[in-house]
Amino acid sequence: MKKVLVTGANGYIARHMVLSLLDQGCKVIGLDNGVNSKNPDMFFGPLAAEYVHGDIGDLACLENIFYRHPDIDSVIHFAGRIYVSESLEKPDFYYQANTIAAFQFFNFVLHRGVRNIVFSSSAGVYGEAKTLPIPENHPREPINPYGRSKLATEWILEDMAALFPDLSVTMLRYFNVAGADMQGRTGQSSPKAHHLIEVACEAALGLRDGMALFGTDYNTQDGTCVRDYIHVNDLVNAHLSALKYNAMTNEKGARAMNCGYGQGYSNLEIINTVKKISGQDFKVREEARRKGDPAALVAANDMIMTALDWRPQYNDIETIVSSAFEWKKRQCDQSR
């Protein structure tokens, strides 16, 4: 990969991705509309090829990018809306951002000659697990608009791969991404935190008056939802491996791979781990289930470990939580 276009580039995962690409010596163009992120981080300066404030559905913006960078050879597509609860309230926004705009974007870049694509998909495409851990051939039966919008985009890419026989696409189905850069360069900085570990860290730091625990009557070990947590640095390494695989394999087409460790932790276990790491016993309010939350999502990861020779480095829940907490604490200290 010589020059990579990263969409949603100032989002949580994508910021780590940009740093990793720069570490690898790649040229990076970062595109972001600012919906899910704050101001661009400092690495969008002289190190990166360019930061562009714009939307993936804005064809004039894309024309301008490719006019100035006709040698873009790879795309990592992160851009989109990401909250299950919000998708239930605003399904139209999710289909527009995650499916319609994504189709316009992929159609554009494919007609500009890009043939190496990594797509940020989700375990949400599976819905309620019929078997655990969940393999890639598990039925795709999402139970919320977020998951359905991601599944629709997977279908688009599968059909595009049939239309462009030299196209190589890897669709990475994330389970629960957490943690912060192990070098302390960036982390999760949501304008309004929704993810469990970030919310719990904010509660531990006194940034909110406790937190809610949604649902304690699931058919799980302690009645709370179970999720497979993957450290963000391991996830971006999976993207790097996918880019290299796409470029080198003779097996063109679209393929899906799970990104997870194959081990689940309940919401209650995560909260207790944050309490242990932080040394703070914050309030936890038990509330009703949220609509659209599956009971358990745990990845079968044989495919990614075999095909991409991917090996996780931070498969430890205390390491994940510690990195997230230290990043959030540093932000908190700097704002005082």
Clarify whether residues 61 and 201 are in a common domain.
no
Distance CA(238)–CA(16), nearest Å, equals 12
pLDDT interval class at 48 (50, 70, 90) = low
What is residue 2's predicted lDDT score, i.e. its pLDDT?
A: 83
What is residue 50's predicted lDDT score, i.e. its pLDDT?
A: 82
Buried (b) or exposed (e) across 296-309, using 16+ Cβ within 10 A?
bbbbbbebbeebbe
Clarify whether residues 173 and 40 are in a common domain.
yes
**Domain-embedded: residue 184:** no
Residue 193 has pLDDT above 90, yes or no: no
Residue 14 belongs to what domain range?
3-178+231-259
**Domain-embedded: residue 71:** yes
Can you give 244-289 as a three-state secondary structure string? HHHHHCCCCEEEEEEECCCCCEEHHHHHHHHHHHHCCCCCEEEECC
**Domain-embedded: residue 86:** yes
Clarify whether residues 19 and 148 are in a common domain.
yes
Q: Residue 308 belongs to a domain with what CATH number?
A: 3.90.25.10
Looking at the structure of the chain, the number of domains it has is 2
Interval 118-137 mean pLDDT: 97
**Residue 93, CA atoms < 13 Å, CB-side half-sphere:** 12
Identify which of 282, 280, 266, 278 has the alpha carbon closest to the alpha carbon of residue 324: 278
**Domain-embedded: residue 78:** yes
End position of a domain, from candidates 239, 259, 279: 259
Residue 42 has pLDDT above 50, yes or no: no
**Domain-embedded: residue 189:** no
Clarify whether residues 223 and 236 are in a common domain.
no
**Domain-embedded: residue 190:** no
End position of a domain, from candidates 259, 279, 308: 259
Identify which of 32, 35, 61 has the alpha carbon closest to the alpha carbon of residue 48: 32
Clarify whether residues 170 and 296 are in a common domain.
no
**Domain-embedded: residue 183:** no
pLDDT > 70: percent of the chain: 95
Clarify whether residues 77 and 46 are in a common domain.
yes
Clarify whether residues 246 and 101 are in a common domain.
yes
Helix (H, G, I), strand (E, B) or coil at 296: strand
Contact (Cβ atoms closer than 8 angstroms) between residue 60 and residue 100:
no
Indicate which residues carry an active-site annotation.
Answer: 146
Interval 186-196 mean pLDDT: 85
What is residue 35's predicted lDDT score, i.e. its pLDDT?
A: 78
Clarify whether residues 31 and 174 are in a common domain.
yes
pLDDT interval class at 41 (50, 70, 90) = low
What is residue 47's predicted lDDT score, i.e. its pLDDT?
A: 52
Clarify whether residues 250 and 320 are in a common domain.
no
- CA 291 to chain CA centroid, Å, is 21
Interval 271-285 mean pLDDT: 98
What is residue 192's predicted lDDT score, i.e. its pLDDT?
A: 79
Q: Token pair of 149, please?
A: 């919008």
Distance CA(140)–CA(218), nearest Å, equals 21
Distance CA(68)–CA(189), nearest Å, equals 31
Instruction: Give alpha helix (H) positions in the chain.
Output: 12-23, 59-68, 84-89, 91-95, 101-111, 145-163, 196-204, 232-248, 267-278, 302-307, 317-334
Residue 51 has pLDDT above 80, yes or no: yes
What is residue 40's predicted lDDT score, i.e. its pLDDT?
A: 54
Clarify whether residues 162 and 255 are in a common domain.
yes
**Domain-embedded: residue 186:** no
Residue 232 has pLDDT above 80, yes or no: yes
Residue with tokens 């936890």: 284
Mean pLDDT, all residues of the chain: 94
Distance CA(178)–CA(317), nearest Å, equals 10
Q: Residue 84 belongs to a domain with what CATH number?
A: 3.40.50.720
Buried (b) or exposed (e) across 189-226, using 16+ Cβ within 10 A?
bbeebebbbbbbbbbbbeebeebebbbbebebeebbbb
* pLDDT tens readout for residues 133-165: 999 999 999 999 999 999 999 999 999 999 999
Clarify whether residues 14 and 156 are in a common domain.
yes
Distance CA(122)–CA(209), nearest Å, equals 30
Distance CA(297)–CA(144), nearest Å, equals 14
Residue 209 has pLDDT above 50, yes or no: yes
Clarify whether residues 273 and 243 are in a common domain.
no
